């Protein structure tokens, strides 16, 4: 069960709540992880998404799905802020289109569930 | 003039141009409107001035289905009717509520909302709410209170105007002073008697619990005794028409609808949250007035999703429910705001005193902790779809008059279940698409209705309106099909219920019926 505290802690991409780490990431994987949020809260929500089976349980597949969905983003984009903004637009678009999943009762956009699952399956940032 | 049956001779006859059965919001509105036009009116009320247990017991019956409360607890047989306990929430039905919807069987009124709008205006004047404004953005700007901005493609705001009016104590002086109005208390109508050709009502048989029997004769008769008793009285009057008056097509009592509501989700807001006592609670405006904002699902989405109408209410978590003494305290507080006392003041005070700890805790939650909060409980109120199998019949048990008691078979259909579940999912999409927050569902699709289900004491549909006598009991003028001089006022004529509290529409329809009766009387 995802705790309410983790949602309040900024896990669920509630826009302004999450804070990007200082400095740009150097690798695409790090950039994506920095954009999604590399925190216990994010990983906890991601683990719940994986446990509920609502997203693919493969880090590469998840990242590819997200990159494919973000057609407006350059393939090698490494700026976490740009990725984050694009993910936000995708998340809102998913909600509006009904592309949602149910994770322990919480209704999440499919893309954000993928993003958190990706974070849960990734090694922490150095 | 106010008179009790005890003061009348046994077997005496009450005579008037229009005889109204029931002194609740519907009946008293018809009476008040007709009285202003000089029409002789008699209002027959089963109870007196205040609740009496032996009279209330006449409304008791059986429930087959979700038995939330005993039937008698959902009615008030007394002058003022249910306005004695009304919380005063007013909202017009949506325009779409009047239209036939392909995915809602038996939906649609015989007319559009535009037909009712002049009477809604009159109803607002009767309620005396000012200013009449249903625009959430305007209230937000006017009061400097924040409101949510959910995705407009999915959800929109509705505003309810809240002003509890007691239709008896507020109109009593007018009606008591009117020479052309006689309000008769402890006058329970026992039967509607028809002419031999079954085409008209010839008289009403009336009694009181002390054995007195009278009759009432008029040119026109209006049943206005509530969504259950309107149908029950037609069914009980089966001496000439075997299935009951106006029931040739077996429609009387069918299509019973309520406004089931239940906790459907938890809203977790991003950012700074909202004031706990903001626009989504009852926001007090002064002079006994308040407003409350709800969320609805836009009509195009409801059509696409094939669901009925809904209202999503938000309450700051921990403040959503008052029970026992706290509920009594809230009711007393509402009365005091109106500079009135409840009719059952002794019982109310006793409940408050014996439940003082809960009252104190609720008062603290309500008044001492008015900070912004991030967690809100989502309560969904759904429009129950018209359903022939959801119905009122008569059971074998009898009341103190020897009359068969009502038996309510309250049934839900697949559309109701789909509406209950999808509505909160759609609200979750609406808040997610706007990055406002997230909603956690508290309902599961396989549940019929969650254990938290309550009803709104809104009894609707049992004498529904339709131009076709095979699908309705009354026509567009609220006249019973096939009976020349029998009319019905109240929520029992609603063919569909929308998600709005019904009283404002009941009052508007009653004002419209009064206009119609005045025209008919003038033509005689």
The tens digit of pLDDT for each residue in B346-358 reads 878 888 887 787 7
Pick the residue from chain A with its C-alpha nearest to B374. Answer: A8
Q: Chain A partners of B270 at a C-beta cutoff of 8 Å?
A: 14-17
Pick the residue from chain A with its C-alpha nearest to B266. Answer: A106
Which of A5, A11, A103, A106 should one mutate to test binding to chain B, selecting the residue with the greatest count of B CBs within 10 A?
A: A106
DSSP bridge partners of A52: none
Q: Chain B partners of A109 at a C-beta cutoff of 8 Å?
A: 432
Nearest chain A Cα distance for residue B156, angstroms: 14
- Contact between B468 and B247 (Cβ < 8 Å): no
Distance (Å, whole) CA B495 – CA B105: 11
* Per-residue confidence band for A73, with pLDDT thresholds at 50, 70 and 90: confident
A67-71, A89-93, B49-53 — which is least confidently predicted? Answer: A67-71
Question: In terms of C-beta density within 10 A (0-12 exposed, 13-18 middle, 19 or more buried), how is residue A72 classed?
Answer: exposed
Q: How many CB pairs under 8 A join A and B?
A: 63
The answer to whether residue A17 is domain-embedded is no
pLDDT in tens, B157-210: 999 999 989 999 888 778 888 999 999 999 999 999 999 999 999 999 999 999
More confident residue, B236 or A19: B236
Give the mean pLDDT of B445-451.
Answer: 72
CB contact under 8 A, B375 and A109: no
pLDDT at B222 over 70: yes
Residue A13: closest CA among B119, B438, B387: B438
* Per-residue confidence band for B500, with pLDDT thresholds at 50, 70 and 90: very high
- Looking at residue B479, the DSSP 8-state letter turns out to be B
* Per-residue confidence band for A17, with pLDDT thresholds at 50, 70 and 90: very low
The pLDDT of residue A22 is: 47
CB contact under 8 A, A8 and B439: no
pLDDT at B450 over 80: no
Distance (Å, whole) CA A41 – CA B439: 17
- Contact between B45 and B183 (Cβ < 8 Å): yes
pLDDT at A74 over 80: no
Which of A93, A95, A101, A103 should one mutate to test binding to chain B, selecting the residue with the greatest count of B CBs within 10 A?
A: A95
Q: What percent of chain B has pLDDT over 70?
A: 95
Output the average pLDDT for chain B: 92
Instruction: Give the gyration radius of chain B's Cα atoms.
Output: 23
* Per-residue confidence band for B322, with pLDDT thresholds at 50, 70 and 90: low
The pLDDT of residue A20 is: 47
Which two three-digit tokens encode residue B160? 């309810």
The answer to whether residue A19 is domain-embedded is no
The pLDDT of residue B317 is: 78
The answer to whether residue A11 is domain-embedded is no
Strands B2-4 and B181-185: parallel
The answer to whether residue A90 is domain-embedded is yes
A24-28, B230-234, B307-311, B448-452 — which is least confidently predicted? Answer: A24-28
pLDDT at A16 over 90: no
Residue that is written with structure tokens 């405006």 in the block:
B285
Residue B394 CA: distances (Å) to CA of B70, B220, B244, B474? 16, 26, 11, 20
Apex B264 CA angle, B292 and B386, nearest 5: 85
Nearest chain A Cα distance for residue B47, angstroms: 49
pLDDT in tens, B244-257: 999 999 999 999 99
Per DSSP, which regions of chain A are E strands? 100-103, 106-109
CB contact under 8 A, B440 and A109: no
Q: How many beta carbons lie within 10 A of that of residue B193, not counting itself?
A: 15
Apex B299 CA angle, B113 and B105, nearest 5: 75
* Per-residue confidence band for A15, with pLDDT thresholds at 50, 70 and 90: very low
pLDDT at B33 over 80: yes
Pick the residue from chain A with its C-alpha nearest to B424. Answer: A107
CB contact under 8 A, B440 and A95: no
Question: In terms of C-beta density within 10 A (0-12 exposed, 13-18 middle, 19 or more buried), how is residue B343 classed?
Answer: buried
The pLDDT of residue A49 is: 95
CB contact under 8 A, A12 and B425: no
pLDDT at B139 over 50: yes
CB contact under 8 A, B271 and A16: yes
Any chain A CB within 8 A of the CB of B435? yes
Q: Output the pTM of the full model.
A: 0.90
CB contact under 8 A, B441 and A4: no
Q: Chain A partners of B439 at a C-beta cutoff of 8 Å?
A: 106-107
Q: What percent of chain B has pLDDT over 90?
A: 74
The answer to whether residue A15 is domain-embedded is no
Give the mean pLDDT of B230-248.
Answer: 93
Which two three-digit tokens encode residue B112? 């559009």
Range of the domain at A58: 26-121
Q: Chain A partners of B268 at a C-beta cutoff of 8 Å?
A: 4, 7-8
Which two three-digit tokens encode residue B54? 């032996």
Which two three-digit tokens encode residue A107? 């209704």
Which of B149, B440, B443, B447 should one mutate to test binding to chain A, selecting the residue with the greatest count of A CBs within 10 A?
A: B440
Residue B481: closest CA among B497, B496, B463: B463
Residue B268: closest CA among A8, A18, A16, A47: A8
pLDDT at A13 over 70: no
Burial code of B354-379, b = ≥16 C-beta within 10 A, e = fewer? Answer: ebeebbeebeebbeeeeeebbbbbbb
Q: Chain B partners of A106 at a C-beta cutoff of 8 Å?
A: 438-441
The answer to whether residue A10 is domain-embedded is no
B441 → closest Cβ in A8, A91, A105: A105
Instruction: Give the gyration radius of chain A's Cα atoms.
Output: 13
pLDDT at B15 over 90: yes
- Contact between B460 and B390 (Cβ < 8 Å): no
Total number of domains constituting chain A: 1
Give the mean pLDDT of B427-431.
Answer: 97
The answer to whether residue A4 is domain-embedded is no
DSSP bridge partners of B312: B295, B380
pLDDT at A118 over 50: yes
The top-level CATH class assigned to B1-56+76-128+163-257+460-524 is alpha beta
- Contact between B241 and B400 (Cβ < 8 Å): no
The answer to whether residue A33 is domain-embedded is yes
Length of chain A: 126
B270 → closest Cβ in A14, A96, A108: A14
Give the mean pLDDT of B418-441.
Answer: 95
Distance (Å, whole) CA B122 – CA B115: 13
Pick the residue from chain A with its C-alpha nearest to B425. Answer: A107
- Contact between B408 and A77 (Cβ < 8 Å): no
* Per-residue confidence band for B241, with pLDDT thresholds at 50, 70 and 90: confident
């Amino acid at each position: 069960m995802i705790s309410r505290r983790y949602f309040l802690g900024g896990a669920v991409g509630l826009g302004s709540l999450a804070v990007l780490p200082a400095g740009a990431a150097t690798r695409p994987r790090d950039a994506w992880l920095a954009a999604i949020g590399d925190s216990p809260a994010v990983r906890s929500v991601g683990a719940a998404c994986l446990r509920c089976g609502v997203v693919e349980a493969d880090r590469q597949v998840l990242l590819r799905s997200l990159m494919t969905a973000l057609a407006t983003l350059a393939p090698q984009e490494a700026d976490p802020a740009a990725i984050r903004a694009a993910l936000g637009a995708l998340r809102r678009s998913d909600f509006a289109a009904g592309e949602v999943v149910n994770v322990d009762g919480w209704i999440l956009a499919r893309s954000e569930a993928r993003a958190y699952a990706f974070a849960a399956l990734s090694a922490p940032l150095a | 003039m106010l008179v009790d049956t005890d003061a009348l001779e046994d077997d005496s006859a009450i005579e008037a141009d229009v005889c109204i059965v029931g002194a609740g919001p519907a009946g008293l509105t018809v009476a008040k409107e007709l009285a202003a036009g000089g029409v002789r009116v008699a209002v027959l009320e089963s109870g007196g001035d205040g609740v009496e247990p032996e009279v209330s017991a006449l409304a008791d019956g059986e429930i087959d289905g979700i038995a939330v409360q005993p039937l008698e607890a959902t009615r008030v047989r007394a002058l003022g009717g249910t306005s004695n306990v009304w919380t005063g929430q007013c909202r017009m039905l949506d325009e779409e509520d009047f239209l036939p919807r392909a995915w809602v069987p038996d939906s649609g009124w015989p007319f559009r909302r535009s037909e009712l709008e002049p009477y809604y205006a009159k109803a607002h004047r009767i309620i005396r709410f000012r200013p009449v404004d249903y625009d959430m953005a305007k209230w937000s700007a006017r009061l400097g209170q924040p409101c949510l901005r959910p995705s407009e493609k999915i959800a929109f705001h509705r505003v309810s105007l809240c002003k509890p009016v007691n239709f008896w104590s507020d109109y009593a002086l007018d009606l008591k002073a009117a020479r052309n109005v006689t309000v008769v208390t402890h006058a329970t109508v026992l039967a509607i008697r028809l002419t031999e050709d079954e085409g008209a009502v010839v008289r009403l048989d009336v009694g009181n619990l002390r054995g007195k029997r009278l009759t009432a004769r008029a040119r026109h008769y209006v049943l206005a005794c509530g969504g259950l008793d309107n149908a029950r009285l037609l069914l009980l009057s089966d001496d000439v028409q075997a299935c009951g008056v106006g029931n040739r097509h077996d429609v009387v009592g069918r299509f019973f609808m309520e406004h089931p509501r239940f906790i459907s989700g938890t809203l977790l807001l991003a950012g700074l949250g909202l004031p706990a006592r903001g626009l989504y609670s009852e926001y007090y405006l002064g002079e006994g007035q308040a407003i409350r904002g709800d969320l609805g699902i836009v009509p195009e989405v409801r059509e696409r999703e094939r669901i009925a109408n809904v209202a999503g209410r938000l309450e700051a978590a921990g403040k959503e429910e008052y029970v026992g003494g706290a509920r009594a305290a809230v009711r007393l507080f509402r009365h005091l705001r109106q500079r009135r006392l409840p009719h059952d003041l002794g019982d109310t005070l006793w409940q408050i005193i014996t439940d003082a700890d809960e009252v104190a805790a609720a008062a603290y939650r309500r008044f001492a902790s008015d900070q912004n909060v991030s967690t809100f409980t989502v309560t969904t109120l759904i429009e129950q779809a018209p359903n022939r199998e959801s119905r009122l019949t008569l059971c074998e048990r009898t009341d103190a008059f020897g009359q068969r008691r009502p038996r309510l078979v309250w049934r839900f259909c697949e559309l109701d279940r789909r509406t209950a579940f999808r509505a909160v999912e759609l609200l979750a999409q609406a808040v997610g698409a706007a990055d406002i927050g997230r909603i956690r569902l508290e309902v599961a699709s396989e549940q019929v209705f969650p254990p938290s289900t309550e009803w709104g004491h809104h009894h609707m549909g049992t004498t529904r309106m339709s131009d076709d006598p095979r699908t309705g009991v009354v026509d567009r003028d609220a006249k019973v099909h096939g009976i020349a001089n029998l009319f019905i006022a109240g929520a029992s004529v609603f063919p569909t219920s929308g998600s709005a509290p019904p009283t404002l529409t009941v009052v508007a329809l009653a004002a419209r019926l009064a206009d119609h009766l005045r025209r008919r009387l003038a033509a005689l």
